[in-house]
Amino acid sequence: MRVVKEFIIDEIRISVFSWNNKFILKYEFGPMEQTFKVSELDILEETDLDSFLEGEFFEKVKLRFEEMGDSFRSEMEKL
């Protein structure tokens, strides 16, 4: 597995990997993570992956983290 790039945006750690003819986009926030796989055949250049790191897609990733966090906290309170 090759690390393409790693960085942090809005406290979300983003790692992009190349593995098995796919790009793996991994978003991490606290104890939660979201992973997406994109075929390398669907991406002409690595810079095309930037569309997953901004705009509507990234806003939905952040919203999903909020929902995941709410669910996680709710479940932890039951313990």
* Number of structural domains in the chain: 1
pLDDT per residue as tens digits for the range 29-59: 999 999 999 999 999 888 899 999 999 999 9
DSSP string, 4-55: EEEEEETTEEEEEEEETTEEEEEEEETTEEEEEEEEGGG-SSGGGGGGGGSH
Q: What is the pLDDT of residue 13?
A: 98
Q: Could you tell me the pTM of the whole model?
A: 0.90
Q: Do the Cβ atoms of 12 and 29 come closer than 8 Å?
A: yes
Tokens of 57: 């897609």
Domain housing 36: 2-78
C-alpha to C-alpha distance for 79 and 68, rounded to whole angstroms = 17
